[in-house]
Structure 1
């Protein structure tokens, strides 16, 4: 293995680990956000009325389920599971959508989660596997 290849592998490993850690962090925040919405309906102030308005408890459960899914996929990404990369992109997109719809309830947290999810999607989608990793399922 050449030094250049070794450096690329190091960057790929750091990128994937960073994405996994950010993903787990996003999942924990989603989970806490959902628990707060379910437990304390009066905590959130609704600004502008939107067409896609749900009951606050329903939003809480949506965030709880998404939080758990994000944590599971993030942990799988940390272990190097092959399916976790595609799942991270799909779940990241769902988190972005859910937090966009959640903007009227908690705009600053929503913007933070959207930004972190974009970072995760970027990191996971730009991570290139080695030839041995990409052909491992062929063996």
Structure 2
């Protein structure tokens, strides 16, 4: 006793055949799907993040130095004529420009830009040399910024995770 819905001419054999075809192709498709790797996340090097943060911080320090040299010349230990090079107004302008460039480079490092490593090394070197010349005006601060600049250079020179030899 077969009803018209379950009889031999019904859609049941076609559905079974369709399910059998899906099962036959299913494992291959599932295997291909399972064997494809997830897109590799580009993780930033820890040293690059450290150096980017540090050069950003040193850039902000240099901007503060620049404003201080421009507007409060009495803040420093030595007078205008006792500076190693230039005067306080010139130093203020130099520190402002260098600080803004360092902040931009620090942001570039944090976004893993390729140009930021080289630019950061150059700017940190210029900052260390500049603070060496500024040493007489503000010795402890200059030594601290020189040490931070050396750390920035080290952090930018260390190879990243994706580097190959």
User: Which of 53, 65, 74 in structure 2 is aligned with 1:42?
Assistant: 74
Higher relative contact order (CA 8 A, sep 6+): 1
Deviation at 1:54, TM superposition (A): 1.3
Q: Which residue of 2 aligns with 1:16?
A: 48
**Equivalent residue pairs, number:** 122
Q: Unpaired segments of 5 or more residues in structure 1?
A: 1-8, 135-139
Deviation at 1:45, TM superposition (A): 1.9
Q: Answer yes or no: is 1:30 the counterpart of 2:62.
A: yes
Q: Structure 2 CA distance, aligned partners of 1:53 and 1:45? A: 15
Tell me, what secondary structure is at the counterpart of 2:101?
A: helix
Q: Which has the larger radius of gyration?
A: 2
Q: Which residue of 2 aligns with 1:4?
A: none
Q: Structure 1 CA distance, aligned partners of 2:96 and 2:136? A: 18
Q: Which moved more, 1:37-46 or 1:22-31?
A: 37-46
* TM-score (structure 2 length as normaliser): 0.68
User: Which of 140, 145, 157 in structure 2 is aligned with 1:113?
Assistant: 145
Q: Which residue of 2 aligns with 1:100?
A: 132
RMSD: 2.1
Q: Which residue of 2 aligns with 1:77?
A: 109
Deviation at 1:53, TM superposition (A): 2.5
- Once superposed, which parts of structure 1, at least 4 consecutive aligned residues long, lie more than 6 Å away? none
Deviation at 1:119, TM superposition (A): 0.2
Deviation at 1:127, TM superposition (A): 2.4
User: Which one has the bigger helix percentage?
Assistant: 1
User: Which of 110, 119, 128 in structure 2 is aligned with 1:87?
Assistant: 119
